Amino acid sequence: MAYTETTTTSWTSRLGSSFKGIVGGFVLITLGTCLLWWNEGRTFKTAGAIGEAELVTQAVNDITKLDSSLEGKVIHAVGRAETQETLRDPIFGVEANALSIRRKVEYFQWREHSRSETRKKLGGGEETITTYTYDTGWVPEPVNSDMFRDPDYKGRNKVLAEFKDERLWAKDITFGAYKLPDFLAHSIGGETQLNAGRIDASSISSHINAPEGSYAGQLINGDETTIYIGRNPGSPEVGDVRITFFQIPPAEVSIIAQVTGNTFKAFTASNGYTFSSLEMGRVDTAEMFKDARSSNNIMAWVLRVVGIIIVVWGLKTILAPLSVLADVIPILGTIVGAGTGFVSWVLGLAWSLIVIAVAWVRFRPLIAGCLIAAAVVLMLLPLFKGKKASA
């Protein structure tokens, strides 16, 4: 059965909060502007570093022995990343000859879900109805049920054991006759599930939070890939814990990096930005640089969108008092809110285009000019709409 709470906020309280939020709105606009400015510089300089690295990169076919003639040069090479180390989980003893192993812990717990609906009231107040529902499921961290809103569900959660997620990396990962530095090795993917094998329950009994004679020492290996602490893996109970392990096995990789002794470092371009790359499998030089440019462009657009949203959010916060003032008559507040939302998006997008354009003036004046023209059109759009409405 759902549990509901109703809260009422007066018009004066809403108005006071909206005016206090104006300062936060200006902060958001500043943060969004800085992000947009920095991102354009980052994008351009990263592209420059990629292009500069491409000009000096040479393909190396044999990495089975050290070559002193490659010292200081940026190379593209394909080889097998492997290690002689056997990684061992310090608690469960699960081990594998792998580049990395990872422990994933999950807990069967009661979970709280909430859904809120806000209704405007005549006079400017608001009534918020929050509905809480509960179910059980696997979660990555124990849930504190003492914080649940419904008294009937408070204190229901417990855990039979508590462990942390953990990842271990081999310290010595080789690439032919060379050694891969951590910044390259740790970007290797291809993770697969690791067979946990049979675990001695007595070795971890001290970690199990259960009285003697109940769960103490009861450890079930469900399918040789999962360590299960509880009565029955097929019918989990609140407090049960399951642990799975994953490994990154040795694999063929392609890299672009600068040779330094028997290892590698990132190439430093003339603009101070660095570049290196690792991809899974056999990937040629041209494709790796194409992928690097694509990744740079995707990141640029993601940060642009984030920056624009922050700016728009800031403007909406600044204009929020207008819709709150109009909420004395709910339908009027809704209309004003829609209007301020439209203005926020138009002005926010226009301001963001100007910031991006100014950032590009130094690098690509033509693109900057087009962006400024688009921004001017957006800023004048509300004026044209107003004149049309008046006519």
Last residue of a domain, one of 215, 249, 283: 249
Instruction: Assess whether 96 and 205 both reside in one domain.
Output: yes
Residue 113: inside a domain: no
* Structure token digits, residue 255: 């890299």
Instruction: Assess whether 315 and 372 both reside in one domain.
Output: yes
Instruction: Assess whether 325 and 192 both reside in one domain.
Output: no
- The pLDDT assigned to 218 comes to 57
Last residue of a domain, one of 199, 220, 249: 249
- Identify whether the C-beta of residue 255 lies closer than 8 Å to the C-beta of residue 184: yes
- The pLDDT assigned to 311 comes to 96
Instruction: Assess whether 185 and 221 both reside in one domain.
Output: yes
pLDDT in tens, the chain (391 residues): 689 999 888 888 888 888 888 999 999 999 999 999 999 999 999 999 999 999 999 999 999 999 999 999 999 999 999 999 999 999 888 899 999 999 999 999 999 999 999 888 888 888 999 999 999 999 999 999 999 999 999 999 999 889 999 999 999 999 999 999 999 999 999 999 998 776 666 667 667 776 544 544 455 655 677 888 888 888 899 999 999 999 999 999 999 999 999 999 999 999 999 999 999 999 999 999 999 999 999 999 999 999 999 999 999 999 988 888 888 787 887 888 888 889 999 999 989 988 888 887 766 666 666 766 766 666 666 666 555 555 5
Residue 216: inside a domain: yes
Last residue of a domain, one of 230, 249, 268: 249
CA 102 – CA 246 distance, rounded (Å): 5
Instruction: Assess whether 95 and 233 both reside in one domain.
Output: yes
Residue 124: inside a domain: no
* Domain count for the chain: 2
311: closest CA among 354, 368, 365, 371?
Answer: 354
- The pLDDT assigned to 366 comes to 65
- Identify whether the C-beta of residue 50 lies closer than 8 Å to the C-beta of residue 273: no
Instruction: Assess whether 371 and 309 both reside in one domain.
Output: yes
**89-112: string of b/e by CB count within 10 Å (b at 16+)?**
bebbebbbebbbbbbbbbbbbbbb
Instruction: Assess whether 339 and 232 both reside in one domain.
Output: no
Kindly report the pTM of this predicted structure.
Answer: 0.81
Residue 38: inside a domain: yes
Instruction: Assess whether 93 and 205 both reside in one domain.
Output: yes
Residue 261: inside a domain: no
Residues spanned by the domain of 163: 84-108+158-249
Instruction: Assess whether 93 and 217 both reside in one domain.
Output: yes
Residue 167: inside a domain: yes
- The pLDDT assigned to 213 comes to 47
Amino acid at site 202: S
Instruction: Assess whether 98 and 201 both reside in one domain.
Output: yes
Residue 153: inside a domain: no
CA 332 – CA 255 distance, rounded (Å): 61
Residue 24: inside a domain: yes
Instruction: Assess whether 177 and 90 both reside in one domain.
Output: yes
Instruction: Assess whether 240 and 343 both reside in one domain.
Output: no
CA 138 – CA 186 distance, rounded (Å): 28
285: closest CA among 53, 8, 67, 48?
Answer: 53
Helix (H) or strand (E) holding 39: helix 11-56
- The pLDDT assigned to 146 comes to 95
